[in-house]
Amino acid sequence: MNSRTPLGRFILRAELRAATETVVSYGFDLTPGSIFVVTDWQPAPGTELELRLSFPRLVAPIELRARVDHHREAGAPGEFAGVRMVWDPDSEAGTAVRALLHRVSMPFSPPNETGFRLLLVEDNGLIRDVFAHGLANFFRSPAFVVEHADSAEAAWNMLGANTYDLVVVDYFLPAANGASLIERMRKEARLAHLPVVAISVGGRDAREATIAAGADLFVDKPLVFRDLFSTLRVLWEGQTTADKKTILVFDDSPLALEVTRMALESAGFAVTIAADLAAFERERTATPPDLILVDIQMPEAYGDDVASVLVDREDVAAPIVLLSSIDEPELAQRAEEARVAGYIWKGAGTTELVRRCKELLGAAS
């Protein structure tokens, strides 16, 4: 039976860009038209900035043109300095945000067998106990396993002997700090793409050091563990897919990616996404899919040309399907010329998309 886990404040990596400055931080309190970004940088209300929201292996980057609504000084515990960024919720990016909010608030069904392994690198025993207690109460499932290391060297040894889905690293550690551990991980091929969240009381200096070392996300202490657990819950759902058929969707539209992923995941598929050729090759080789959906109208190369090349490659065993909104007769012809397994017309809607994917994977399995 599905059980709904309270969403709390979902945390995202947030990048603010102006002509002369770029700030990499994190944001929470996401709505279809706004987010609060933690930062000491406080541009004047009304200032327009480029905003990029993402999360490693979870949320494809959403690019927004946003403006500063207001800023806030640090206040009571848990109230960080930052800016509230706003945008048009009816824009294409706003629609992508709404799709994301819908997905992360869906009912949560913890698996019974497939585990998610997290390594917490923290030398404060009380914080380790609070973290473990919070996880046990938030998830209420033995499948979520958290292991602890009290130093960078101990963590490195554990990373060499075990496989983890996520590492949470405190910046202030004995002997070597958390940034040095993260930098060491990023130089090791097996650990280079492992999601890393850095935490610290060190403020801006610790944030800049850990992000520069390769952390995907930095969260200030005293962090609200419930916020981090809300994020971990969604990340966990994205990882516990070993028994599902995997579909790789290649499309340059953030909105199309989110809508397609939401429809397919709701139907029980595991979904990976790519918005450009580099990401497509990375996802295709990291997790060989059972089905590949390729949009035709792409900026770097036409999707049917990419598909035609893939058909001739010996390392591509999955059926390839063209996915496009161009006129259906032309789409059918281009699919035939590319020698792919078929096509799906976007104009038919997500119900037809899901039906065709089930049909194709049933025939391929």
Helices (H), the chain: 92-104, 125-139, 152-161, 178-186, 203-213, 225-239, 254-266, 277-286, 303-311, 328-338, 350-364
* C-alpha to C-alpha distance for 154 and 120, rounded to whole angstroms: 11
CATH 2.40.10.220 occupies which residues in the chain?
A: 12-104
Query: What is the pLDDT at residue 283?
Result: 81
pLDDT < 50: residue spans in the chain:
1-8, 110-113, 239-242, 363-365
Query: What is the pLDDT at residue 48?
Result: 93
**Fold (topology level) of 12-104:** Thrombin, subunit H (2.40.10)
User: 334-341: long-range contacts (C-beta < 8 A, 24 or more apart)?
Assistant: 334/296, 334/304, 335/304, 337/304, 337/308, 338/304, 338/305, 338/307, 338/308, 338/311, 339/308, 339/311, 340/294, 340/304, 340/307, 340/308, 340/311
Query: Using omega within 30 degrees of 0 as the cis cutoff, is the peptide bond preceding 222 cis?
Result: yes
Query: What is the pLDDT at residue 239?
Result: 47
Residues forming a β-bridge with 293: 249, 321
The dotted CATH code for 241-364 is 3.40.50.2300
The dotted CATH code for 116-238 is 3.40.50.2300
Contacts of 282 (CB under 8 A, 6+ apart): 274
Query: What is the pLDDT at residue 119?
Result: 92
- 285: its two tokens: 């080789």
CATH 3.40.50.2300 occupies which residues in the chain?
A: 116-238, 241-364
Query: What is the pLDDT at residue 243?
Result: 54
What is the average pLDDT value for the chain, to the nearest integer? 80
Query: What is the pLDDT at residue 125?
Result: 86
Query: What is the pLDDT at residue 5?
Result: 36
Query: What is the pLDDT at residue 141?
Result: 60
